[in-house]
Each structure stands twice: as structure tokens, then as C-alpha cells.
């Protein structure tokens, strides 16, 4: 007899790529926060290419309101701050071999710094994003595989990702 809660998770996992399922004993209470203030608006969706070498949109572009403050989506450690293809990028490493990327952002955190979910990590730059007006490009990877960052925020799926803490 499987407990109802366990069964829900199992069914949910089967509905997703298996690698998204939380490993056993990964902990509890995963908390993911939207990285910008204001309404949750996706300007450009996630459009992964059919093959790694083809162009695509390996992330989501999020509309911003009057505030340009950018927040960490989850607990983690800053694993990169610098320029990639002439854009200012912050990368945060999370539990479960997950990484989130934020661009174009002027960092207010330093390499190696631990951050909490919802902690300010920088300011969105006015130029350098691929939207007009500017937007935040948010990326999500597990290992070398790009994932749709919106998975983090979907209420029924967020718990399938590795939980943080503990
Ligand atoms: Zn983008």
C-alpha cells in the first residue's frame, strides 16, 4: 500500500522526464522564488533546439516592472560572475546538480557567496538583454542539460525537483 502523497509524487514523476524526479532523501521544503518583482510575465518562452548545436532559446525571458532588482530563485552558491558572449551573467549552483543563470545583470554578489531564495543578487542592466524594453533571461540546467526554468515555479511540479536545505 502506497501512501497517497507518495503515490502522487510517483505519478507526477512518471509524467516528466525521469531525471527530474527528486532523488530519495533529497530533503524537504524546496522553495523557489520568482527572480524579479512585479507580475509574473514571460516575454519569451523556453524554446530548446532539437539538437545541442542548433540555435534556440535555452531559458525564459521575464518581464520586469519598475524595479530592476534581481533575486536568487533558490538557496545556493554563486558559481560564476562575469561576461559570457559580452553579457553580464550570474550563475548560482543549487542542490541536485541544478544551476540557474541570470542575464544581463550587474552583480551585487561575489563568486562563492552563499545566497538564500529571494536574496538580492544584482540589478538588471538596461541594455544587453534580447527584449525591448529589457527583460531578465533566466536559464536552468541540470548538469549539462537545459531545462525549462518555469518548472521551478509550477506548483505541481516544483516538488519534483530536488528539494533544498536539510
Ligand atoms: Zn532569453
Is residue 63 packed enough to be buried (19+ CB in 10 Å), middle (13-18) or exposed (0-12)?
middle
Confidence of residue 13 (pLDDT cuts 50, 70, 90): very low
Angstrom distance (rounded) from CA 23 to CA 28: 11
- Grid cell locating 42: 514571460
State in Å: Cα 76 to ligand 1 middle: 22
For the segment 103-129, the average pLDDT, to the nearest whole number, is 95
State in Å: Cα 3 to ligand 1 middle: 41
The class that CATH gives domain 4-160 is: mainly beta
Confidence of residue 124 (pLDDT cuts 50, 70, 90): very high
State in Å: Cα 62 to ligand 1 middle: 8
Q: Using only the alpha carbons of the chain, give its radius of gyration.
A: 16
Global pTM reads: 0.76
Is residue 4 packed enough to be buried (19+ CB in 10 Å), middle (13-18) or exposed (0-12)?
exposed
| CB of 139 closer than 8 Å to CB of 85 | no
pLDDT of 28-84, one tens digit each? 345 899 999 988 999 999 999 888 888 899 999 999 988 999 999 999 999 999 999
Q: Which is it for strands 87-94 and 76-84: parallel, antiparallel or unpaired?
A: antiparallel
State in Å: Cα 42 to ligand 1 middle: 10
Amino acid at each position: 500500500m502506497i501512501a497517497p502523497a507518495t503515490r502522487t509524487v510517483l505519478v507526477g514523476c512518471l509524467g516528466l522526464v525521469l531525471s527530474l524526479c527528486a532523488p530519495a532523501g533529497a530533503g524537504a521544503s524546496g522553495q523557489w522564488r520568482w527572480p524579479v518583482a512585479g507580475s509574473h510575465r514571460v516575454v519569451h518562452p523556453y524554446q530548446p533546439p532539437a539538437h545541442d548545436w542548433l540555435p534556440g532559446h535555452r531559458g525564459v525571458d521575464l518581464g520586469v516592472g519598475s524595479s530592476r532588482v534581481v533575486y536568487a530563485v533558490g538557496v545556493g552558491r554563486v558559481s560564476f560572475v562575469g561576461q559570457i558572449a559580452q553579457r553580464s551573467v550570474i550563475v548560482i549552483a543549487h542542490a541536485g546538480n541544478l544551476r540557474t543563470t541570470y542575464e544581463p545583470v550587474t552583480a551585487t554578489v561575489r563568486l562563492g557567496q552563499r545566497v538564500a531564495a529571494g536574496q538580492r543578487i544584482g540589478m538588471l542592466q538596461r541594455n544587453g538583454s534580447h527584449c525591448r524594453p529589457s527583460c531578465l533571461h533566466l536559464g536552468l540546467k541540470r548538469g549539462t542539460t537545459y531545462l525549462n526554468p518555469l518548472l521551478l515555479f509550477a506548483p505541481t511540479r516544483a516538488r519534483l525537483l530536488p528539494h533544498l536545505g536539510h
